[in-house]
Structure 1
Amino acid sequence: MATTFEFPVLIGDVGGTNARFALVETRGAKPRLLSHEATAEHADPSSAIRTALAKDGSRSPPPRSAILAIAGRIDGPEVQLTNAHWKVAGERIGRDFGLSSMVVVNDYVPVAAGAAGIEPHDLTPVGPCPAVPGGARVVLGPGTGFGAAALVPYSAHLAIVSTEAGHTELGPADAFEEQVWHVLERVEDRITVETVLSGPGLARLHAAVTHVRTGRPRDKLDPAAITAAGLDASDPHAAEALALFSRLLGRVCGDLALTFLATSGVYIGGGIAPRILKVLQEGAFRDAFERKAPFAGMMRAIPTSVITVQDPAFNGLAALASEGDAFVYHGQVWRNGEGS
């Protein structure tokens, strides 16, 4: 899909917890942040957009087109967010704001687009491998949920492949993990990647690790509190949960690298990884990533990095707005006057 946007372009990164909006005022311009809006505080996307534009006042002309990245599967004219109450319909938003065009994509499409030109200073390596240009890349991230996409060279274009990798099954790989899995809280009777590799997933892991080590069930704690207690070693079960989280994340990163032959690297976004960099760098993340016989040699040559730039989707959304012809991707497209 290639879409031409009229400027200014409203861009938005809509997650289960927060919606972030910015304007790209002219082709090639850097995005200018409007606001961060709590998803739960607005009835629908248009309400949040109105608030964001009102905060900007009259600093620039109103947007003429828009592209929103949302945490959900783009499979119809109206999309339900995976981890929030909003339903997103491109046509409704386009008409609400008098736009010429409106595009809705999965939230990891722009993260993948941004990975095409990401600067080294926006990355923190996990492991010693240098980047290898020209191959496929994988971007993923544990946050409120778990998102993933691949950026695959295809002829003169870069194809962005959205996935629902967060909803694939994940099982134990050793005796301790089997004990954890036995008491781990399930979601809809499943243990998926997102069940454990997300903010709520870290809370589930901590509760399960504590249960295994003490023999007693315990209530789930706030993920931020678990992270803090694990990093300062004030709670040994929290530290063990972070170590397990790191190992599982390495395993899943390796699986996705194998799936897409991501020889140019795996880039980890989301809200959790930047906070636990020390655990990822010093723990079993890379060992779990590379433990993929008979391809361990290939895996050792694949770089893994944490995206440390704030709002990484914004640069990707700006790239999609300004350099749309370079990318091939799936999304919901509405143009004013078509089918009206």
Structure 2
Amino acid sequence: MQSLPVNKGRVSSGRARAANRQRLRALNISEQPVVLVGDIGGTNARLAAWRAGNKGEEIFSKTFPTSKHETFDEVVEEFLKEPAVAQHTPKAAAFAVAGAVSNNRCAMTNISWIVDGPSLSKKLGIKVGILNDFEAVGYGIPALDDSDIVPINPVACEARAPKVVMGPGTGLGAAQLMWDEGQGDYRVWPGEGAHASFAPRGWKQAALNAFVIERFQHCEIEQVACGSGLELIYEFLQSDEVANRPDLLRATNKKSAADISSSALDKSDHLAVEAVDMFLGIIGAEAGAMALRCLAKGGVYIAGGIAPKLMQRIQHGSLLEGFLMRKGREKFHDILLQTPLFVITNGKVGQIGACAFATKLLQQVK
């Protein structure tokens, strides 16, 4: 397949805007108050001190293994004692947590931690916001420059139109952004749509669906659209009869998602190439479905740690083909043709979003 087109006009104008913003930030950033930002997962808690702002600036960060700390509060207390942080007292905080947030509080799924915003706010004497991890990514999107994203379906974004962000990692996260006239800005609505049932396209995805159901009694989207999902797809492709695929005599072995990805990129394992392309097609299809649910003419953004590493295969078109739904109803295929699709390459978009949210909390204090 041909390489995907790039909207050069958008990129060049975006670079000019980015340069202007950088000059303004250089003038003003040192005068901004400091906020505390966190990215809290089941394995690691990453905390950082940032200068406030829509894109902000990181001052200092540190990663804490969750297994070495009984509570999240203990991690916060330890971080605030760091010399680089102690001299910059945070004025607000926002923590992005991999889990469902309710009433500014999250009881984490895979560890016993409770990340409690009201309790931390009282203890620290500042406003504290608890966000779902993809909610934080959503708040980071408006601050991104063209250098932070790669256009996959390079059509113009409609001003103030809904946006969607989703992406594979340990799981499959997703959120929607809706313009709020009262705030004059986007508001992010997190969700758990990745746990809906997988909707396969074509006979091979239908066979994958049956393979997963036989093992787990149910197949949800996340099970085939995250890191472990890529491993599951690769295992499924090896389940064919050797009579049909003689090459499987040499290929029946387990691989990690990272190994599958690298083998696909260097084309040393054709089954890995097929697995990655199927994986990208499934993610693209879900991105298209989310785009139709809210008519996301403001753009669909693929985030997470996996997609940027697979850009070489994405350029071959599997993600875009899944997104465009060519074999669906013509009217809705036409809508998707006019819906922008991007891959986010800035790995700190979640931290940028948490910083932006903490900045909003600062404005509420004023």
Gaps of 5+ in 1: 1-5, 328-334, 336-340
Show the counterpart of 2:47: 21
Distance 1:286 1:240 in 2: 16
Show the counterpart of 1:112: 138
Q: 1:190 to 1:60 in 2, by over 3 A?
A: farther
Work out the percentage of aligned pairs sharing the same amino acid.
Answer: 27
Task: Between 188-197 and 268-277, report the one with greater CA deviation.
Answer: 188-197
TM-fit CA distance, 1:165: 1.4
Listed as ranges, the matches of 1:188-337 within 5 Å are: 189-212=217-240, 214=242, 220-291=254-325, 292-293=328-329, 294-324=331-361
Secondary structure class of the residue paired with 1:275? helix
Secondary structure class of the residue paired with 1:67? strand
Task: Between 245-254 and 179-188, report the one with greater CA deviation.
Answer: 179-188
Q: Of the candidates 37, 41, 63, which is equivalent to residue 36 of structure 1?
A: 63
Q: 1:140 to 1:86 in 2, by over 3 A?
A: same
Conserved 8 A contact 1:171-1:191: no
Show the counterpart of 2:26: none
Q: 1:78 to 1:310 in 2, by over 3 A?
A: closer
Show the counterpart of 1:90: 117
Distance 1:276 1:83 in 2: 27
Conserved 8 A contact 1:227-1:276: yes
Distance 2:48 2:42 in 1: 18
Task: Between 272-281 and 56-65, report the one with greater CA deviation.
Answer: 56-65
Q: 1:98 to 1:285 in 2, by over 3 A?
A: closer
User: Whose radius of gyration is greater, 1 or 2?
Assistant: 2
C-alpha offsets along residues 41-76 of structure 1, whole Å, 9 cap, x if unaligned? 433323333444445545623334321111111125
Distance 2:176 2:144 in 1: 15
TM-fit CA distance, 1:22: 1.5
Conserved 8 A contact 1:111-1:312: yes
Distance 1:213 1:47 in 2: 54
TM-fit CA distance, 1:25: 4.1
Show the counterpart of 1:178: 206
Task: Between 253-262 and 7-16, report the one with greater CA deviation.
Answer: 7-16
TM-fit CA distance, 1:32: 2.6
Conserved 8 A contact 2:106-2:130: no
Q: 1:250 to 1:27 in 2, by over 3 A?
A: closer
Secondary structure class of the residue paired with 1:323? helix
Conserved 8 A contact 1:74-1:106: yes
2:140 pairs with 1:140? no
2:203 pairs with 1:166? no
C-alpha offsets along residues 220-243 of structure 1, whole Å, 9 cap, x if unaligned? 432111111121122222111101
Show the counterpart of 2:96: 69
Could you say which structure has the higher helix fraction?
2
Q: 1:205 to 1:38 in 2, by over 3 A?
A: farther
Conserved 8 A contact 1:137-1:265: yes
Show the counterpart of 2:128: 102
**Which amino acid in structure 2 is aligned with residue 204 of structure 1?**
L
Conserved 8 A contact 1:18-1:37: yes
Distance 1:233 1:55 in 2: 46
Task: Between 225-234 and 34-43, report the one with greater CA deviation.
Answer: 34-43
Distance 1:88 1:187 in 2: 34
TM-score (norm 2): 0.79
Count the aligned residue pairs: 322
Conserved 8 A contact 1:45-1:93: no
Distance 2:37 2:316 in 1: 37
Distance 1:257 1:58 in 2: 41
**Which amino acid in structure 2 is aligned with residue 315 of structure 1?**
I
Show the counterpart of 2:13: none
Conserved 8 A contact 2:104-2:131: no
C-alpha offsets along residues 287-311 of structure 1, whole Å, 9 cap, x if unaligned? 2211142311110111111111121
TM-score (norm 1): 0.84
Conserved 8 A contact 2:101-2:130: yes
